[in-house]
Amino acid sequence: MIDLEQVEGGFREMWRELLPVGRHEPTGGYRRHAWTSADGECRAWFEEQARKRGLSYEVDRNGNQWAWSGDPMAGNAIVTGSHLDSVPDGGAYDGPLGVVSAFAALDALQERGATGGRPLAIVNFGDEEGARFGVACTGSRLMTGALEPGHARSLQDAAGVTLGAAMERAGQDPDAIGRDDERLARIDAYVELHVEQGRNLGEAPVGVASAIWPHGRWRFDFHGQANHAGTTRLEDRRDPMLAYAATVLNARERARLAGALATFGKVSVEPNGTNAIASRVTAWLDSRAADAATLDMLVKEIIHESGAEVTRESYTPVVEFDGPLRDRLAARLGGVPVLPTGAGHDAGILASAVPTAMLFVRNPTGVSHSPAEHAEEADCLAGVAALATVLEDLL
């Protein structure tokens, strides 16, 4: 049994150090976007954690940070970690909890003298949220070859700065990015701890991920006819706002019946005038389900009943985490929930290249991507214990 008393203080101190970094005071949320100064402060903090533990520190070609216990070149490494960047006005836990827990778990293992079997690395993947350049999991996608380097370099932020230029300003060589098979070959397993982003754990402090739901994004164009809001009889209107409103409610009801998720969170209206009936409403559907068949059926129904012109903008198939690794974690932790998630993670990207697993820590409110995101300290420490337990087993 892992004894946490020795590492609780260290966990709290790391948490305290990170808390003010990139915090936007008016909202209380975080703005730690890739390759900004706030991101740089997070990265400096990571390097400092590695140095003070005597770990070998390096940044890979794709801007991901690594802290190694043991010989990085020995192979058969076990890797844990997550990311430190955030969505706009995101919460404190999404990402950082996995990195802080990784250092705390290593501390616990070192207390027990349980390191040394294989190399153990802690990783901070760059630009997981994609908040600045629009592509999520950039660091892990580049590493596995899921993102083409030339395309990545040309991605632009809202100010027109390319990812290539932003990396260069931060001291990273953008010409060196790309697939890193040599590094992947040295990794035997990746385990990412992450705060759960719904309330699916119930009262359990920790769970094991089974899969990432397939998900996609569809653009709905509702066409109508611009007209005068003060004179056009109701029966003469072709008001696309009505079809949009009906589709929002229908999508919710259909998703409920299917046990899936459907969300309209982004809308654009033309001409968007107070006294003008809209000529066009464009809205984006985000939908996710446990399996592709359910998702496809759900989205087909929503599209069919909407009357809109619909374009699929992205689609990510289901990710099933490595079965033996998942079962081994679940067995080692004994009776914890094994559950899927609707959110993308670096672990979902790594899963295509190395055996990968995830641990979730309970989110009592289910709130994430928001300043109100929260996890109880007792649950976080249970997460550290669980992570240390499975790492000890794997090492």
Q: Which of 179, 215, 326, 328 binds its own copies (CB under 8 A)?
A: 215
Considering only residues 104 through 123, tell me which ones interact with its own copies, judged by CB under 8 A.
Answer: none
* Minimum distance from residue 109 beta carbon to its own copies (Å): 30
Residue 41 is inside which H or E element, if any? helix 37-52
Q: Which of 267, 290, 297, 338 binds its own copies (CB under 8 A)?
A: 267
With vertex at residue 129, the alpha carbon angle to CA 72 and CA 37, rounded to the nearest 5 degrees, is: 80
Q: Which of 71, 173, 236, 327 binds its own copies (CB under 8 A)?
A: 236
| Residue 204 binds its own copies, judged by CB under 8 A | no
- Supply 207's token pair: 């769970």
Pairing outcome for strands 120-125 and 261-270: unpaired
Q: What one-character-per-residue DSSP string does 217-241 give?
A: EEEEEEE---EETTTS-GGG---HH
| Residue 222 binds its own copies, judged by CB under 8 A | no
Residue 278: HSE in the Cβ half-sphere, 13 Å Cα cutoff: 18
| Residue 202 binds its own copies, judged by CB under 8 A | no
Residue 375 is inside which H or E element, if any? none
Q: Is residue 383 a contact partner of residue 206, using CB atoms and an 8 Å limit?
A: yes
Q: Please work out the total of residues on this chain that contact its own copies, with binding judged by CB under 8 A.
A: 63
| Residue 241 binds its own copies, judged by CB under 8 A | yes
Residue 257, exposed/middle/buried by CB under 10 A (0-12, 13-18, 19+)?
A: exposed
Residue 265, exposed/middle/buried by CB under 10 A (0-12, 13-18, 19+)?
A: exposed
Give me the phi and psi of 26, to 5 degrees please.
Answer: -60, -30
| Residue 59 binds its own copies, judged by CB under 8 A | no
Q: Which of 10, 40, 72, 198 binds its own copies (CB under 8 A)?
A: 198
* Minimum distance from residue 226 beta carbon to its own copies (Å): 4
* Minimum distance from residue 342 beta carbon to its own copies (Å): 4
Closer CB to its own copies, residue 26 or residue 150? 26
Closer CB to its own copies, residue 188 or residue 296? 296
For residues 119 and 76, give the distance between their C-alpha atoms in angstroms, rounded to a whole number.
Answer: 7
For residues 83 and 106, give the distance between their C-alpha atoms in angstroms, rounded to a whole number.
Answer: 17
Closer CB to its own copies, residue 294 or residue 368? 368
| Residue 376 binds its own copies, judged by CB under 8 A | no
Closer CB to its own copies, residue 217 or residue 332? 217
Q: Which of 92, 208, 261, 325 binds its own copies (CB under 8 A)?
A: 261
| Residue 52 binds its own copies, judged by CB under 8 A | no
Count CB atoms within 10 A of the CB of residue 182.
9
Which residues, in sequence order, are bridge partners of residue 57? Answer: 67
Considering only residues 82 through 101, tell me which ones interact with its own copies, judged by CB under 8 A.
Answer: 87-89
Residue with tokens 């996995």: 98
* Minimum distance from residue 67 beta carbon to its own copies (Å): 28
Considering only residues 278 through 297, tell me which ones interact with its own copies, judged by CB under 8 A.
Answer: 278-279, 284, 286, 288
* Minimum distance from residue 119 beta carbon to its own copies (Å): 32
Q: Which of 246, 292, 297, 338 binds its own copies (CB under 8 A)?
A: 246
- Residues in the chain, total: 395
Rg (CA), the chain: 23
Residues that bind its own copies in the complex, under the rule CB under 8 A: 87-89, 196-200, 213, 215, 217, 225-234, 236, 239, 241-242, 244-246, 248-249, 252, 255-256, 261, 263-267, 269, 271-279, 284, 286, 288, 341-344, 365-370, 372
